[in-house]
Amino acid sequence: MQQENFVCAIESNARRFRSKTALVSDDRKLTWSELDAFASGFARYLSTQGVSVGDRVAILMPNGAEFVVAFLAVLKLGATPAPLNPLVKEEELAAFKADLRPKLSVDRVVMSQGSWQTIDEVRAPSLILYTSGSTGRPKGAVFSHDALTFANHSWAEPVMGLSPDDTVLVAVPLAHSLGLNGGLLAPLLTGATIVILERFTPEAVFAAIKKHRVTVFPAVATIFRRLLNSPAFAQADFSGLRLAVSGAAPCPWELAVEWREKSATRIVRGYGMTELFRPLSFRSEDPTEVPDAVGQPVPGVEIRTVVEEKASRDGVGELWIKSPAMMDGYLDAPEETNEVISDGWFKTGDLTIISPEGYVQIVGRKRERILRGGYSVFPQEVEAVLLSHPDVAEAAVVAVPDADLGEEVAAYVSLKRTAQLSSGDLLSYCKTHLARYKYPRQVYIVPELPKGPTGKILKSALGKSEA
């Protein structure tokens, strides 16, 4: 079915906001008309390299104006961009390319303005975005143009409440969902100005927020924690910032509260995954949030819980979501697609409770549920207790094999910068807040938890050495 090319809305804004700043990258400013002309110029170049409608193009570039130009140029051709993390190792890159089979891989852009007649109506996908691989092999999620448009209108409003007067700072990778959608495409749809950091440091974020009068800041929980722990935080100027938005990984309630108290700015929390973008969220205008929840469905999204017979006693069920932003499927993987999509519903694998008011609380992952001697332990519940300790920065709970009980509970914790805690201290803390079968038998204090490019904790890397 033919769909309107997502990039047409960006071109419309280029005509509307011609001389307004669209993009700031490494102190280089591009107006809307310049950004569109550079994208058209690169589209013309790509066409000379044989790229045409329906082709897949891998984009292997760090954050910067060149990434944006390349992404928009591919769309102008009616081709499909597939952003990849430029930091992947050669072996990983070979695996991605074997799966993607791109017509061309772009790792640099010669910035040259030009003109190009965009393919307005397309059948080809708008985007192939690879999952983080935090629970297995990364898979290419394939999206239509309609899905990408819906997703980013949802990001822009109601999640961030964006307008052309906003300036959005993106300090997370553009090659991943949070940076690409919340940091780039949603602001482009609304005519906002985007400030791109090539690499995150607390000092660079503080300087950019002050210099460019940033109003909206989407980031992962790890970044918010590092900013709070930075010695430079006390001198940071947040007077222009009206909203922070958390994504890509869960944001603990305690972190959101601490950020609000110290920055006088609210973090809007929500729930998302690569295959669905951000179907659940609190709203930018919500005066308060429910501490244990991740929000409600954004307009146009339906949810339900599918409760297994064994789980019906505690009201916990798997969250299924139906959304116009849902992927069409995994690239060339019909069996894996059918495992997660049923009659238009996406099986998230997350175990949830939905309140009478429609707020969704995530209690754990279906695959991560720990069966300890016949008892079910949900890692997120144990993590929430650990994170409630004032000296704990991050926590992850996993199952480790146990000859007697089948599985045992193990916790990995990193501490705040000045904290002095022992594993015994944290075990005692857990014992006072959790039932006997839930508290971890081992707590490992580590300098930092392993993470993927988006800041999501890689639980697959935990527990192996102790098993």
Domain containing 128 — which CATH number? Answer: 3.40.50.980
Residue 222 belongs to some domain of the structure: no
Residue 262 belongs to some domain of the structure: no
Residue 400 belongs to some domain of the structure: yes
The most confident of 250-254, 317-321, 377-381, 415-419, by mean pLDDT = 317-321
**Residue 26 vs residues 23, 139, 232, 277, 307: alpha-carbon distances, Å:** 10, 32, 21, 28, 50
Whether residue 452 has pLDDT greater than 60: yes
Cα–Cα distance measured from residue 149 to residue 156, given in angstroms and rounded to the nearest whole number: 11
Domain span holding position 444: 368-461
Amino acid found at 321: I
Of the listed ranges 143-147, 165-169, 246-250, 347-351, the least confidently predicted one is 246-250
pLDDT grade, residue 67 (50/70/90)?
very high
pLDDT grade, residue 462 (50/70/90)?
confident
267-297 b/e (C-beta count within 10 Å ≥ 16 → b): bbbbbbbbbbbbbbbbbbeeeebbebbbbbb
Residue 453 belongs to some domain of the structure: yes
Total count of domains within the chain: 2
Mean pLDDT of 15-32: 95
Of the listed ranges 115-129, 132-146, 166-180, 184-198, the least confidently predicted one is 132-146
What was the pLDDT predicted at 365? 74
Q: What is the pLDDT of residues 36-62, one digit of tens each?
A: 999 999 999 999 999 999 999 999 999
Mean pLDDT computed over every residue of the chain? 90
Whether residue 136 has pLDDT greater than 60: no
Of the CA atoms within 13 Å of residue 304, those in its CB half-sphere come to: 8
Cα–Cα distance measured from residue 289 to residue 283, given in angstroms and rounded to the nearest whole number: 9
Residue 328 belongs to some domain of the structure: no
User: CA 169, 171, 175, 181: dihedral to nearest 10 degrees?
Assistant: -30
Mean pLDDT of 343-347: 95
Whether residue 168 has pLDDT greater than 80: yes
Q: Any idea which residue has 């008309």 for tokens?
A: 33
Whether 458 contacts 451, CB under 8 Å: yes
Short-list 173, 177, 134, CA closest to 276: 177
pLDDT grade, residue 312 (50/70/90)?
very low
Return phi, psi of residue 105, to 5°.
-115, 130
pLDDT grade, residue 288 (50/70/90)?
low
Domain containing residue 427: CATH number? 3.30.300.30
Beta strands 302-306 and 317-322, pairing class = antiparallel
Q: What is the pLDDT of residues 220-266, one digit of tens each?
A: 888 998 999 999 999 999 999 999 999 887 888 889 999 999 999 99
Pairs from 289-295 (Cβ < 8 Å, separation ≥ 24) = 289/253, 289/256, 290/355, 290/359, 291/253, 292/253, 292/361, 292/384, 293/355, 293/359, 293/360, 293/361, 294/250, 294/269, 294/270, 294/360, 294/361, 294/362, 295/269, 295/270, 295/271, 295/359, 295/360
Residue 179 belongs to some domain of the structure: no
pLDDT grade, residue 463 (50/70/90)?
low
pLDDT grade, residue 189 (50/70/90)?
very high
Q: Taking the CB of residue 379, how many other CB atoms lie within 10 A of it? A: 23
What was the pLDDT predicted at 157? 84
Residue 202 belongs to some domain of the structure: no
Short-list 465, 456, 448, CA closest to 131: 456
Q: Taking the CB of residue 362, how many other CB atoms lie within 10 A of it? A: 19
Residue 24 belongs to some domain of the structure: yes
